[in-house]
A and B are shown apart, each in its own frame.
Chain A
């Protein structure tokens, strides 16, 4: 069925973008945290630094920045449903 196939394609596309944005966001955040650690501790301690980043990233998962990425999955589908409703059912 064409409609289901179309929805599947859209979902795959959204998932790909979702993964890319999420990885990019996490990577930039990790780099920022590592820099912050290096500035505070010039001598550096890679094992403690790794723990620091790990803990900070657990908190990062709960920030609105990390959660807003889900909009990538929601907004296009919501827009399509809105268009379908406006074109065919009003």
Chain B
């Protein structure tokens, strides 16, 4: 039973981490080499990584869609390709509807290896080449050189807010447990509510620490 709990807990933790890694924006300094459109067949298993059909993306009746792509090279010389699609309105909640504008900005920053223009691209998602999965570019801004890595403050802010919300929920849950157990103890032993750190396990541990 204990093993079962540990396995479920670890799987849950990994799932949460992967979801956050996929959904939160990341920032990478790259050099844009090409912008292009390509017909993508959305009948495969990788369809969930593309925008949902209700975003205004036009799809043919046999499930193909013209998708904008931004090809780039990273400072270490390895290639990286973004897609540039409007997002759905619900999930992930980026509310992006300016992919045509972003394509204009991207094509303005196309450069060659001889005279490179470096840009910092904000994007969410993963690049999985064998599955034809591309991260979705959100914003592009020029930077001075390949070593300039702007701070990814949006992801930090979102993680901070999630952390605060978790702390609030954790505290409320503990108080709920405290009050419930306090009632049970009072009814059973006819004594006043437990003093000090309360009666939940975490509260007792914390009270013993102090």
Contact = CB atoms under 8 A, between A and B. Distances in A.
Interface of A: 2-3, 6, 80, 83-84, 86-90
Contacts of B154: 86
16 contacts: A2-B56, A2-B89, A3-B89, A80-B93, A80-B95, A83-B94, A83-B95, A84-B95, A86-B154, A87-B94, A87-B96, A87-B138, A87-B139, A88-B97, A88-B98, A88-B101
B18 interface: no
Given A2-B89, A3-B89, A6-B90, A87 B54 contact: no
A10 to B, nearest CB: 9
A88 B89 contact: no
State the main secondary structure of chain A at its contact with B.
helix
Contacts of A84: 95
Contacts of B56: 2
Contact of A87 (B55, B90, B95): B95
Q: Which bucket holds chain B's interface residue count?
A: 10 to 19
Contacts, number: 27
Contacts of A86: 154
A88 B138 CA distance: 8
A88 B54 contact: no
Given A80-B95, A88-B95, 10 more contacts: A2-B54, A2-B55, A3-B89, A83-B94, A84-B95, A86-B154, A87-B98, A87-B139, A88-B96, A89-B98
Contacts of B89: 2-3, 6
Contacts of B94: 83, 87
A6 B89 CA distance: 7
A81 to B, nearest CB: 9
A56 to B, nearest CB: 23
